[in-house]
Amino acid sequence: MTDKNTEIIGEITRLKKQRNAVILVHNYQRPEVQDIADFVGDSLELSQKAAKTDAGVIVFCGVHFMAETAYIVNPGRTILLPDIESGCPMADMITTEVLVAKKKELPGVTVVCYVNSSAAVKAESGICCTSANAVKVVQSLGNKEILFVPDQYLGQWVAEKTGYKMHLWPGFCPAHMKILPQDILDKKKKYPKAVALVHPECRPEAKTAADEVLSTGGMIRYARGGSVKEMIIGTETGIIYRLQKENPGKTFIPVNDKVVCPNMKRITLEKVLWSLQELKHQIEVPEETRVRALSAVERMLVIA
């Protein structure tokens, strides 16, 4: 660690205490940002932590929809996103206007909304889900007519697991689309003892080529248990740092070094410090939208 980073971390620690702040960090963030976290996790775990914290300020090191979700469950607290440009391309693939129009085409449909979406889209949905609990959420609804938004590949995987027919929105994660079946097969050939883990946002052919399909939180738990010593990791490469840090006796091989989300990498130590100094950027959601979105999020959290 450089002297500059040591100084920045010291100031972050001081301001965090002064502001009664908590720092929540997604598994895909930079290593140095993960190291200053009060909690590192996936979308579901971070949503649960945000809902339970008593901190007055939540610094969310992730992307915009995550900070919005923190505000949805904590309207009386200050939610900070250190880089306001840290967005999610998948979340941008659906808007309230087109969702409302689709609901009119499918009267009576239940909208299951992946948490990777705006608060406004959540407000038009019946229930939210994450990649960690999507199967449980859909199963809780019974075999109703379901519109799954916005990730078609997570939706396809859930439909396969549940046996339910669902209408799938044509959204996707650009980073996970970079994982090809051949990448997995090549790595398995090179590391014959390794188990291949991929995220459910991956394309169907990649999931078929893998040994396990898991959320990032699921990958963390899988790595901690069992006797498997080598794992091929098919998700955003930021998670490798945490996996290696928590499991020093095991080997983690990225399926593809190009699986990087540039928005997840926008947040730096300097930006976290500035965010605490200036209390920016504050993320808020209009109250009417927040209340409607909260219903969908709370339904998810009960199931989770």
- 267 contacts 29 by C-beta, under 8 angstroms: yes
Crossing angle, helix 216-224 and helix 239-246, to 10 degrees?
20
64 & 206 share domain: no
- 66 contacts 83 by C-beta, under 8 angstroms: no
- Residue 276 Cα to chain centre, angstroms: 23
Per-residue pLDDT tens listing for the chain (304 residues): 677 899 999 999 999 999 999 999 999 999 999 999 999 998 878 888 888 888 999 999 999 999 999 999 989 899 999 999 999 999 999 999 999 999 999 999 999 999 999 999 999 999 999 999 999 999 999 878 999 999 999 999 999 999 999 999 999 999 999 999 999 999 999 999 999 999 999 999 999 999 999 999 999 999 998 789 999 999 999 999 999 999 999 999 999 999 999 999 999 999 999 999 999 999 999 999 999 999 999 999 888 7
**Which residue matches tokens 């995220």?**
199
245 & 97 share domain: no
156 & 293 share domain: yes
> What residue numbers bound the domain in which 138 lies?
91-173+289-303
CATH of the domain at 123: 3.40.50.10800
281 & 294 share domain: no
In a domain, 259, yes or no: no
In a domain, 12, yes or no: yes
Nearest residue to 238 via CA among 25, 23, 69, 10: 25
The amino acid at residue 210 is: A
Q: How far apart are CA 69 and CA 79, in angstroms?
A: 10
77 & 224 share domain: no
In a domain, 112, yes or no: yes
